[in-house]
Structure 1
Amino acid sequence: MKKLPIILIPIVIIALGLLPWYGSDVIIQFGISTLLLAVLAQGWNIIGGYTGYASFGNSVFYGLGAYGVGIAMVQWHLPFAVGMAFGVLLAVIFAVVLGLPVLRLRGHYFAIATLALALVMTAIVSNIPLAGENIGLVLPPLNNDRFFYELSLGLLIITTLTVYWLAHSRFGFGLIAIRENEEGAVVMGVNTTRYKVMAFALAGIFTALAGGIQAYWITFLDPVSAFDLGLNVKMIIMAVFGGPGTVLGPIIGSFILSAISEVLSSEVTSVAGVFFGVVIVIAVVLMPRGLTDVIRRFHLSGWRYFIENIRANRL
């Protein structure tokens, strides 16, 4: 049974890679959005799932990556690849400079601080002429959805391989130790400040790359959409629903929730707005460790799995 998922992984990757050649334009565009959301969920998984710091500031990395591409291509007339590198540089600088003080906070204090960072960045960028201020930037169009799809798929594969390495490395074990007991991790000799900043920066790199791809794909950029807090909530929900602190959980959560959300938004528009709110309740109450934990344990405990989680939440 344990070998089955390993066998399926290359089959799924090949099927996803071939999708642009047999799928319709609508399917390809949906695929780009879903793959990028999966990258964002994996990025949040590094700082939220493995390190245990529920960041609401990952949308800042997304926005910096998007503006890195936008400024490089529109204002400086540089290639897309240079813009991606510039966006990553901005994200890493932000993660290190602001991560050092912010990551000293814990729990809801950290969450509130990162939430404030996203709001502050929206206000700052709205007043920078180089970034187009409130008007935003219009990027040169590239009508090639296959290119963006394959680029997004490649980024997701690289991100997932990095998370896999993280889950089996000494660095990853240090992050897990911080998540479980930060004081105990210090006693064990883990440099918690360095580990947390490195995790924050690593999450920022992948999130910024996703933001850069999204900006070039949709060809328009403004502060409100670039630093959208709603996007940050989405990546958290998808990671938590699939299974935080796991390799494949955020991807499973992103694919499933994106598909359901797409169906609801096209078939029952009034219901789509409350969908993610319902998902939060289900994830927190019935399966706090995510869908991957349900798949792993349900065949052992059956419906008692959900009953135990309800009792644990004192409902």
Structure 2
Amino acid sequence: MERGNHTSASEFLLLGLSSQPERQELIFGLFLVMYLIGAAGNWLIILAVASDSHLHMPMYFFLSNLSLVDFCFISATVPKMLVNIQAQTQSISYGGCLAQMYFCILLANMDNFLLTAMAYDRYVAICHPLHYSTTMSLQTCALVLGCSWLIASSHSLLHTLLMARLEFCASNMIPYFFCDLVPLLQLSCSNTQLNQLMILLVGGLIVLVPFLGILVSYIHIVSAVLKVPSARGKQKAFSTCGSHLTVVILFYGTITGVYLNPSPSHSADKDSLASVIYMVVTPTLNPFIYCLRNKDMKRALRKLLLRLPRGG
């Protein structure tokens, strides 16, 4: 019997998206461009919100935090993948793999909670506008953000500690480009029933409750907007929710594609491709969705870009 965490695996191999060497340069270039665009887009959102006093309101407070989380999300996986391609290796240390899994769960949870907070913000703004300033006060928003980080970090720590107690004595090859919870459990030769139970109970609860909160918020929003007599009033009310609703559909749609499809219906290749959409494409697209559909963000970004120093 080995000591410590009883694992014989000192490292794992991230198989990535393709085993063909001729495709590695294309994958490297594509992911580098997506990472740079995603990083720039999310930081522009953060700077625009911070620099424009008109955006110092709860909706954009949560949006800037969502952009920070999305930047960290892509930074938790893509740089390691790019380094591995350049070094022509697929390895990641055991500790590095657990750390990557921890941050992926943490940041996915934060995306989930922030989208829920933004839905509630829109619900209060549209359904109870007279109570908006008191209900969505700075103290309330800070409390929601702090509780979200606490719950998200506790949940990811739980899964990381449960994973650390398992043995890995067979294959150490992960058919993804990052260390994810489910493929790691599939590699273990220990009893994973407790891990699976926690995924079902705690993980399911953390995803389901916020999703139901978003659903209930939008049912009330749609009901309130349909009562608005003028078509222009309805359009204005819906326009304030369009960007958020698009991001919600993209986020939960890709989660469903990765984790809730029946296993016989899809292959490891399809899982890996779906994880790219969930882990990289969605955080990269979020800033553009908000910029293209939100007039306030467009104005703030124009002001920010005009302030930037120009060369020449």
What is the TM-score when the length of structure 1 is the normalising length?
A: 0.31
Instruction: Report which of the two structures shows the higher radius of gyration computed on alpha carbons.
Output: 2
What is the TM-score when the length of structure 2 is the normalising length?
A: 0.31
